[in-house]
Amino acid sequence: MPDQALCLDPASFAGVTLVGAGPGDPDLITIAGLKALLGADVVVTDRLVPHELLAGLAPDVELIDVAKFPRSRFTAQKDINAVLLDRARAGKRVVRLKGGDSHVFGRGFEEVLHLQQAGVPVRVIPGLSSSISVPALAGIPVTHRGVVHDFTVVSGHVPPRHPDSLVNWDALAASRGTIVLMMAVHNAAVIAQTLIDGGRHTGQPAAIVVDGSMASERVIRTTLSQLGESIDNEEVQPPAIIVVGDVAAL
């Protein structure tokens, strides 16, 4: 459990604070997260963090970029852990700033465990997860009364049947619920075919939300069978959230 309650002044916490910055619009960070950020001595940031938040930091704040780009520049998690530990042991107020929510495919809990094992105080300020907030902002509810009673958030960074995949794609295909795919642009076509092979209808609605919550946001409506083709034709690049299910047609 975190060492301090959130009711304490977020800017006075001595240790590491994991802050979720939300889906991209700088206004969507929580009040607690913003207070912690503005009170930090060191900010360790990811690539999907809104630049406007970083521009508002004081000149003496140390800003450390540990961005991970798909199939490109990559900062190893052990190196990120080492930076957090080093700055915290130096008595700095450290904020680990991540896009979305740190515990939704953000490796946040790995960092919590590492810091706890080293005896460093650590706490978490959740952020709006892109998996829910991005579709909502684009006019797509992940659930709707009389349409669907469940939704599943899935990482698509490895394709179905890959030995590293932990997803039960057959169960997802057999379900009636909404599927929200994150980090799935590269593998979307094979995921769509796997869902169809497992029983999902070829014409089931799907939507791709690119750059969700930002000025460059695009919403592409398509079907499950045409998902891969739509991504190619529209030249979709991450970040993008893919919604599969009847709600994508609402």
- Annotated catalytic sites, by residue? 46, 68, 183
- Residue 126's nearest CA partner among 17, 42, 240 is 17
**DSSP structure string for 83-132:** HHHHHHHTT--EEEEESB-TTSSS-HHHHHHHHHHTT--EEEE----HHH
For residue 242, give both structure tokens: 């893919």
Q: How far apart are CA 99 and CA 48, in angstroms?
A: 5
Please report where in the chains the tokens 């999907």 appear, as a residue.
48
Q: How far apart are CA 193 and CA 227, in angstroms?
A: 9
Q: How far apart are CA 234 and CA 158, in angstroms?
A: 22
116: how many CB neighbours lie within 10 A of its CB? Answer: 14
